[in-house]
Amino acid sequence: MAYGERGVVRLAGNVWSSYSTRDRTLLAIGAVVSYFMFRTVGKALGIPPVPHYQGSLLLNGSPVVTMVLVVMTLVACALISSLIAGVVHFEAGLFCASIGLLALSTRGGPMRYVLMYSSGSGVYTMLATELLLLAACVGIGWYVLLVLRDNEFLRGEPLRDDDPDALPAQGAMALLGQVVLMIFLMLLLAQTDRKAQVVWSVAIASLVSSLAAHSLFPARPSIWFWAAPFIVGVIGYAVAGFGGPPLPGGEVGGALPALARPLPLDYASVGTAGALVGYWTSRKWQHEHETEPHTTGEVEEALEQS
């Protein structure tokens, strides 16, 4: 196994071990519930109308109705999942609801069919618009959790000693750093528009970039981090649009084709979920670093206690 592969495996193991069996179980239950809720809604209401060949929500016959149904289902999933996994993290409900969106993405199929049945480079403008609408849907879900927290129906994220004040400059630096790193990782990972490769590319790129950005700029709240995948997607669609119409066979053209291979649903689902996991993990590692003994006296005291 190459050195880089060993590093990825080690990082995955460290992230996995950062969560207890209880936390992983509750998050998994909430994610499965959300996935089947979205799958049921998509199948019952025909979202998308042609499974595996129509991955864009705005290509639906009633795009307004479709987006309303998506935001209603997402909020419902966030509320139900918060009841299940809210003890793990404040944004656990949003994480599970984002995983639920993946059901619509897998039902929609790869990007190539969206591009094959479109006319001209205007399809990228439509995809960017859809991604912004999905960002608004996720934002509404996050705002609902804030309302629940402010009314003491949901436990907020506990503050720690090294948490800085919520300064816009710190958050903007974290967001910029994450966007740049995620673009670089996507260029390496998203070599085709095959659904499995695209989903894992977005998930890994968003998780690693969020983890690194928060380690360098420990900002809060989490919106500074889960917003990055949406920005990367809009940049990808904009660059692809300037590159002209799609290539034959539904291939993405332009200077950064890897950024435009995922569907908007891919960025909204595993992009949001991966960024949240990176944010949570970085906070946890920093908290563990706080409690570690650093001086000789602290080490001796820890040894005496143990």
**Cα–Cα dist 140/93, whole Å:** 12
Give residue-wise pLDDT tens across range 45-93: 988 888 888 889 998 778 999 999 999 999 999 999 999 999 999 999 9
Helix/strand/coil percent split, the chain, to 5:
75, 0, 25
Give the whole-angstrom CA distance, residue 33 versus residue 84. Answer: 10
- 267: tokens are 């960025």
Residue 190: predicted pLDDT: 95
Q: What stretches in the chain show pLDDT beneath 70? A: 1-13, 16, 159-167, 289-306
Computed on alpha carbons and rounded to an integer, the radius of gyration of the chain in Å comes to: 20
Beta carbons of 236 and 306 less than 8 angstroms apart: no
pLDDT on residue 54: 86
Cβ atoms of 90 and 27 within 8 Å: the answer is no
Where exactly are the structural domains of the chain?
19-155+163-289
DSSP assigned state of 217: S
Torsional sign, CA 25, 103, 63, 135: positive
Amino acid at 117: Y
Residue 74 has what pLDDT?
Answer: 97
Query: Are the beta carbons of 208 and 278 closer than 8 angstroms?
Result: yes
Give dist(CA 182, CA 177) in Å, integer: 8
Give per-residue burial for 220-233: e unless 16+ CB within 10 Å, then b.
bbbbbbbbbbbbbb
Those residues whose C-beta lies under 8 Å from the C-beta of residue 228, and which sit 6 or more positions away, are 175, 178, 179, 182, 206, 209, 210, 213, 271, 275
Task: Kindly provide the residue ranges of all beta strands, DSSP E only, lying in the chain, ordered along the sequence.
Answer: none
Q: What is the pLDDT of residues 107-119, one digit of tens each?
A: 999 999 999 887 7
Six token digits for residue 270: 């595993």
Q: What is the value of pTM for the model shown?
A: 0.89
- For residue 247, what are the β-bridge partners? 251
CA distance 212 to 282: 8
Q: Is the peptide bond before 262 cis (omega within 30 degrees of 0)?
A: no
**pLDDT at residue 245, rounded to an integer:** 81
